[in-house]
Amino acid sequence: MLTANAQALRRIIKRLCLASLLLSFATVSRAQYVTFMEYDLTHGQCCARAITTGPDGAMWVLGRNNTIYRITTAGTITSYEKMPNANASHITAGPDGALWISVPLPGGPSQIARITTAGVITMYSVSTSEVGLGDITAGPDGALWFTERSGNRIGRITTAGKLTEYPLPKPNSHPIAITTGPDGALWFTEAGAIGRITTAGAITEYAVAGWPSYITAGPDGALWFTETYENRIGRVTTAGVITEYAIPTPNSEPWGITAGPDGALWFTENSSADAIGRITTDGVITEYPASDLPAYITTGPDGALWFTFSDMGGRVRRAVLDLTSGSMPQLASGGSWKTTITIMNTGAAPAGVTLNLFSDKGDPLTLPFTSPQLPGSLPISTITFPMLPYSLLVVETELPADQPVQQGWAQLVASRAVSASAVFRWNLSAGPQEAVVPLETRNGSYVLPFDNTDFATGVAVANLAPIPASIPVIVRDELGILLGTDTIQLPAHGHTSFMLADPNHSAVMARLTVNRRGTVEFDRPPAGQISVLGIRACPTGALTSIPVAMK
């Protein structure tokens, strides 16, 4: 299960006589990768349909009886009254802390519904005629975007209810699904094409044989979509280059699709195949029996996959992946910086490991990687490789000193428990300085001690979630007295690193911490996850990392 950029690494490993390890890892992955838990929302009365992660860290589900359900990751279920005269279709988390729902009304005007996490519903009219509303998603511009299937338009509605509609160039396009892409535009599926619309309304269409169904942003900077009747999974780059992968099971009818927590894409097979599928970013497909026509799927804040069914039972299933995950919130390469990552498989069984690199903007961060154990260099943003029991792997990245420094963070996903750390080195004329970045596996809020008297304290913060994060920051002095607050805004999978007393980054934080000792608290945003690391430097240039406490 290797990325396209890592095929050379796989060939090297084969030459090292590890072919048998690749086979044994594939067997372990297929047999033990997924376990299921099921929740009955409606006690058999009707169906569960679209599902999304809410801004409150719970799952929100639409029932075909127009009741809205909320289910916590611990399994506590709450239902809300039916929407008036509604036929709810799709649901998404909005930028305003509420949920937004597309509501097509056969034979009449369609509506967009807004429901707060307390269950208060507001309805907005979209049209005086039937437009057949489809999917809905939060856009990069702070508005909601949706498809009008029979209206042949893409719609936009602000959180204040202001509506704008954009006709599609091709008649009878019947747009279905829509998602925000990594390029700041919206991407949608339609008959015979994948469409792209900018927030200004400029539309581009890329031809596809067949009728794509659902679409999502992938971890590789591309968009991935299902082709239900062609029995394929498709991938389109932001430049419009399309690749398609056939699903092994005939007539599987792939439907919903989402980016998983393991660096792969997961999709449902809404036919007698009764399965959910996994496809790596280089096109390797694995299928897992799920029964009862799985339909819509999403990744929850708990790192599990949540999906609904097309049968008449109102059930939601939670798929837990047999993997461990961690993060290293700081890495740097170039400008006299070098990062060395060490991974150890401490168990008696083989382990599959994927290392994903992200830039400050949350994009895949491509860096040249070498290993003292293997020849050659690979410019990659994702590395997938097998590890022998009790084995050690070391990989390094160091751009030339005259090139600008590239910074970001690393996500580690493994099929079994592994240990890892990173060492970043700063090569000074007086001699190199190094600091260790431990693998962070906790999930919560963090407290960093700082000392800006005789020393300087820096911090690195990574947003591990695939959604933007607004991170509350609380600064206290050494006696615990509140000095003030601030907020760090990070894009999805984004990163930042800075010295606390640097006014060029945050005048507020600099004012609160200059010439002081104390603590800085970084609070986990709702439905999000962050990783934090402290750095301490002295005037001579010596530096060390500062572990953070979990609150």
In sequence order, what are the beta bridge partners of 534?
A: 459, 546
Domain 1-33+322-441 top-level CATH class = mainly beta
Q: Which two tokens stand for residue 28?
A: 């372990």
Pick from 448, 422, 446: nearest CA to 435: 422
The residue assigned the tokens 């991938």 is 235
Residue 507, φ and ψ in degrees, nearest 5: -65, -35
pLDDT in tens, the chain (551 residues): 333 333 333 332 222 222 222 222 222 222 235 778 888 876 555 677 899 999 998 999 988 667 888 999 888 998 887 666 667 889 999 999 999 999 887 666 788 999 999 989 898 988 756 678 899 999 999 999 999 998 899 999 999 999 999 999 999 999 999 999 999 999 999 999 999 999 999 999 999 988 899 999 998 899 999 999 999 999 999 999 999 999 999 999 999 999 988 778 999 998 877 889 999 888 888 888 887 789 999 998 877 899 988 765 678 888 877 666 789 999 999 999 999 999 999 888 777 788 889 999 999 999 998 888 777 777 778 887 778 889 999 999 999 999 999 999 999 888 677 899 999 898 888 888 888 888 998 888 999 999 999 899 999 999 988 778 899 999 999 999 999 999 999 998 999 999 999 999 999 999 999 999 999 999 998 767 899 999 998 877 788 999 899 98
322: which DSSP letter?
S
- Side-chain-side CA neighbours of 98 within 13 Å: the count stands at 20
DSSP-assigned letters across all residues of 163-226: EEEEE-SSTT-----EEE-TTSSEEEEETTEEEEE-TT--EEEEE-SS----EEE-TTSSEEEE
Sign of the CA dihedral running 468, 297, 104, 118: negative
Amino acid residing at 431: G
CA distance 125 to 147: 14
Pick from 395, 399, 278: nearest CA to 340: 395
CA distance 6 to 27: 21
Contact 107, 95 (CB under 8 A): no
Residue ranges per domain, the chain? 1-33+322-441, 442-551
Our separate counts of H helices and E strands in the chain read: 3, 47
To the question of domain 442-551 being in CATH 2.60.290.11, the answer is yes
Do domains 1-33+322-441 and 442-551 share one topology? The answer is: yes
CA distance 322 to 90: 29
Contact 461, 409 (CB under 8 A): no
Contact 29, 384 (CB under 8 A): no
